[in-house]
Amino acid sequence: MRETLRSLSGFGGVLFDLDGTLYRGDTALPGASDFVQACRDAGLKVAFGTNNALLERDRIAARLQGMGIDADPDELVTAPDSLAAVVQEAGHTQVVRLGNAGLRESLERVGIAAPDVMDAEPGAGTALALGLDPDRSLAGVARAAAFVETGVAVYATAAEPHYPTDRGIEAGTGTLIAALNAMSPVDPELCGKPSKHFGERAAKEVDTGRPVLVVGDSLAADVGVAEAMGWDSLLLLTGSTRESDLKPSGAPTFVQTDLVAVLRDLQG
């Protein structure tokens, strides 16, 4: 019998995943707004962590708010922001991008121009940044492969092969990396969940010196970053993980079917 979350007392902060945890597509999942509010009412510092590189921060926050979930742009911890910080710390000033608006915004915010791979010529940058871009054609992947062949450093926001939507699963950044690997071997430095890069960035928002709880639907990304940081994790079976994926013992700390069930357990 796996342990379920019975109390929020003792925790100082909580990091929420988004896709498959608080919403699917444009629809909030049952219990999402109430559980976020329950964490706030319990005095926990709240942050929202995502590997999604499609949308800019303000649009992500507005999306949550439109679903009735209390969220501020300053509470967002994103893989694109983490990647931008890693790239900047590595001293790169010329970066080409295979990714969408969220990745571009994060790089530009730290002063790094990041033209799309289709708008740059191989040799024009010292690094290649990879992020979620489900509409990307193989022509874009082939252009990215040409940059890889020049020996540039490669950074990625995520490695998940897919993510849940209201239409079913969609190809994730890991699928993009796999397509790139089929053309030119690449081993990008991961900057999003479950990397320590992401975890240390999230810690600035939720670490109060008391235990932190990570709430998510992915064993690899959400439970993974909790393990990397020594935090507790609440795995929900609402997205990418199924009961059959769980091992008899070990991580995560807590498992529940959905947030409605979590709220019921908390109310006891």
Q: Region 164-169: what's the mean pLDDT? A: 74
- CATH class, domain 80-190, is alpha beta
pLDDT mean over 90-112: 94
Q: What is the mean pLDDT of residues 109-123?
A: 92
pLDDT value at residue 45? 98
Asked if residue 1 has pLDDT above 60, the reply is no
Q: Of the given ranges (17-31, 35-49, 158-172), which has the lowest mean pLDDT?
A: 158-172
The tokens describing 235, both together, are 């795995």
What does the pLDDT read at residue 250? 64
Confidence check: pLDDT of 148 > 90: yes
What contacts 98, CB < 8 A, 6 or more positions away?
116, 117, 128, 129, 130, 131, 133, 136, 140, 141, 143, 144, 176, 180
* Cis amide linkage into residue 252, ω under 30° from 0: yes
CA 108 to CA 205: how far, in whole Å?
22
Is 90:42 a contact under the CB 8 Å cutoff? no
- Token readout for 20 is 């498959």
| Pairwise CA distance, residues 181 & 247, whole Å | 30
Per-residue pLDDT for 135 more than 90?
Answer: no
At residue 172, the pLDDT reads 86
What's the pLDDT tens digit per position in 3-29?
A: 899 999 999 999 999 999 999 988 999
Mean pLDDT of 176-202: 96
Domain extents in the chain? 13-51+194-267, 80-190
User: SS3 for 46?
Assistant: strand
Give the homologous superfamily in CATH for domain 13-51+194-267.
HAD superfamily/HAD-like (3.40.50.1000)
User: Where are the alpha helices (H) located in 110-249, listed in sequence order?
Assistant: 138-149, 173-183, 196-206, 224-229
Region 64-88: mean pLDDT is 96
Do 41 and 86 touch, CB atoms closer than 8 A?
no
Q: Is the pTM of this model over 0.95?
A: no
pLDDT value of position 152: 95
The count of residues in the chain is: 268
pLDDT at 241: 85
Residue whose structure tokens are 């995520």: 158
How many CA atoms within 13 Å lie on the side-chain side of 150? 16
Nearest-angstrom CA–CA distance, 53 and 66: 19
- What local confidence, expressed as pLDDT, does residue 166 receive? 72
Instruction: Specify the amino acid at residue 220.
Output: A
pLDDT of residue 249: 59
* Better-predicted residue by pLDDT, 242 or 196: 196
pLDDT at position 32 over 90: yes
> How far is the C-alpha of 57 from the C-alpha of 232, rounded, in Å?
26
Residue 199 confidence (pLDDT): 98
8 A C-beta contact, residue 117 and residue 140? yes
The stretch 209-237 carries a mean pLDDT of 96
Same fold, 13-51+194-267 and 80-190: yes
Residue 86 half-sphere exposure toward CB, CA atoms < 13 A: 27
3-state secondary structure of 153: strand
Model confidence at 38: pLDDT above 70: yes
Omega before residue 194 within 30° of 0, cis: yes
Q: Which percentage of the chain shows pLDDT scores above 70? A: 98
Q: Is the pLDDT of residue 168 over 80?
A: no
Among candidate residues 76, 58, 84, the one with its CA nearest the CA of residue 22: 76
**What is the separation, in whole angstroms, between the first and last Cα of the chain?**
18
At 101, which helix (H) or strand (E)? helix 101-109
